[in-house]
């Protein structure tokens, strides 16, 4: 699709040199500022440790992500959805309901690749599920698991074991939407019991967070898969690569 010719470097002009000098000056100033920073970490370290039991999780990073600062994670899920819808909108009117084309090639699939992928996929799937559940105590959680699941999806499409998902499908839309919906609705349910938005009671926090992660992982997986799959092949054009 892109001609693989390395373009010549544009000449280094006077403005470029002036810009480089300005940025270098800024770098020096910033480094000076950095050398004067406090050597002690933030007092938040103690706050997190003190409230860790109440958060329902043992892993402090995930406790911050899914409990103390859960609103950030909710918005971040929204960012993924927005980027996905944005990429859907970049297709033309004629092709936007067709399957995306990045992993579809004209060449026949080579059997060794299929064998390798068939061997890899179950291993990666086990790792993904492990990461999802272990996130409560160790590093892991919905986002790493979702990323691995989307990698599985890409491998399956490359091996022609599964077709690339066409975006118009109802199940695709629900999968993508589920993560944000479950998250927002769980946070709103806490309002019904007289607590704040996203205020999970310590006794049930772990369970609620697990439910949120269970719906977030496939959501993130599908969104990342679709984002990586790019645009549909235009009718009348050659398939890429």
Partner 1 sequence: MSPATAYAVTGLALFALALFGFLVRGHLVRRIVALNVMGSGVFLVFLAMAARGEGTTDPVPQALVITGIVVAVATTALALVLLVRLHREVGRLALEPSRQPD
Partner 2 sequence: MDAQAQLLAPALLLPATAVFPALLGVVALVLGRRAVPLVPLLAVTVIGLAVAHLTAIVWQHSEVTVALGGWQAPLGIALRLDGLATAFLLMTGTVASGIAIYALVEYRHPAGGESRAAYGFWPLMMFLWAGLNTIFLSRDLFNLYVALEITSLSGIAMVGLNGEAAALVAQMRYLLFATLGSLFYLMGVAFLYAETGALDLAVIAGRLQVGPSASTAVVLTTLGLLLKTAIWPLHFWLPPAHARAPTPVSALLSGLVVKGSLYLLIRLWFELYAPVLDQVAWMVPGALGGVAVLWGSALALRQERLKLMLAYSTTAQLGYMLFAFPLAVAGPVEATQAWTGMVVLILAHGIAKAAMFLAAGAIVAVLGSDERVALAGATRLVPVPLFALALAGLSMMGLPPSGGFLGKWLMLRAAIGAGQWWLVAILVVGGLMAAAYLFRFLVPAFLPASEGKPDRPAATGLMGGAAIALALISILLGFVASPLNRLIAPAMPAGLGAG
Residues at the interface with partner 2 (CB under 8 A): 29-30, 32-34, 36-38, 40-44, 47-48, 51, 67-72, 74-76, 78-79, 81-83, 85-86, 88-93, 96-97, 168, 170, 173-174, 176-177, 180-181, 184-185, 187-188, 191, 194-200
CB of 70 to partner 2, least distance (A): 6
Residues 6+ apart with CB under 8 A from 224: 80, 146, 147, 150
- Residue in the structure block whose two tokens are 């697990």: 210
20 binds partner 1 (CB under 8 A): yes
SS3 percent helix, strand, coil of the chain, rounded to 5, is: 65, 0, 35
CA 177, chain centre distance (Å) = 14
- Can you tell me the distance from the alpha carbon of 167 to that of 17, in angstroms, rounded to the nearest whole number? 47
Residues 6+ apart with CB under 8 A from 155: 117, 120, 121, 124
CB of 55 to partner 2, least distance (A): 9
Segment interacting with partner 1, rule: CB under 8 A, options 73-81, 103-111, 113-121, 127-135: 73-81
Q: If DSSP codes are grouped into helix, strand and coil, which group holds residue 161?
A: coil
5 binds partner 1 (CB under 8 A): yes
Binding-site member from 4, 39, 50, 119 for partner 1 (CB under 8 A): 39
Residue 192 tokens, joined: 């019904």
Q: 148 with 122: CB under 8 angstroms?
A: no
103 binds, among partner 1, partner 2, none (CB under 5 to 8 A by kind): none
Q: 136 with 214: CB under 8 angstroms?
A: no
Binding-site member from 4, 51, 54, 83 for partner 1 (CB under 8 A): 83
Binding-site member from 96, 121, 234, 238 for partner 1 (CB under 8 A): 234
DSSP letter for each residue of 55-79: HT-S-HHHHIIIIITHHHHHHHHHH
- Can you tell me the distance from the alpha carbon of 222 to that of 216, in angstroms, rounded to the nearest whole number? 10
Q: Which of residues 99-158 bind partner 1 (CB under 8 A)?
A: 143
Binding-site member from 4, 14, 35, 112 for partner 1 (CB under 8 A): 35
List of residues contacting partner 1 (CB under 8 A)? 1-3, 5, 7-10, 16, 19-20, 23-24, 26-27, 30-31, 34-35, 37-42, 44-45, 48-49, 60-65, 69, 72-73, 76, 79-80, 82-84, 86-87, 90-91, 143, 224, 227-228, 230-231, 234
């Amino acid at each position: 699709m892109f001609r693989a010719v390395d373009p010549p470097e544009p000449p280094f002009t006077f403005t470029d040199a002036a810009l480089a000098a300005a940025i270098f000056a800024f770098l020096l100033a910033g480094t000076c500022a950095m050398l004067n920073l406090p050597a002690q970490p933030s007092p938040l370290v103690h706050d997190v440790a003190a409230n860790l039991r109440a958060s329902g999780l043992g892993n402090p990073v995930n406790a911050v992500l899914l409990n103390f600062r859960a609103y950030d994670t909710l918005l971040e899920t929204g960012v993924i959805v927005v980027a996905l819808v944005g990429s859907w909108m970049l297709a033309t009117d004629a092709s936007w309901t067709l399957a995306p084309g990045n992993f579809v090639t004209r060449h026949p699939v080579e059997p060794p690749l299929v064998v390798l992928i068939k061997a890899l996929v179950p291993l990666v799937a086990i790792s993904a599920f492990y990461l999802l559940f272990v996130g409560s105590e160790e590093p892991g959680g919905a986002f790493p698991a979702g990323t691995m699941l989307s990698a599985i999806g890409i491998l399956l499409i490359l091996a022609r074991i599964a077709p690339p998902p066409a975006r118009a499908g109802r199940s695709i839309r629900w999968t993508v939407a589920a993560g944000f919906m479950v998250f927002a609705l769980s946070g709103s349910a806490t309002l019904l019991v007289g607590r704040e938005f996203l205020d999970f009671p310590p006794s049930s926090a772990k369970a609620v967070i697990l439910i949120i992660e269970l719906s977030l992982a496939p959501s993130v997986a599908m969104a990342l898969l679709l984002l990586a799959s790019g645009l549909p092949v235009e009718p009348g054009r050659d398939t890429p690569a």
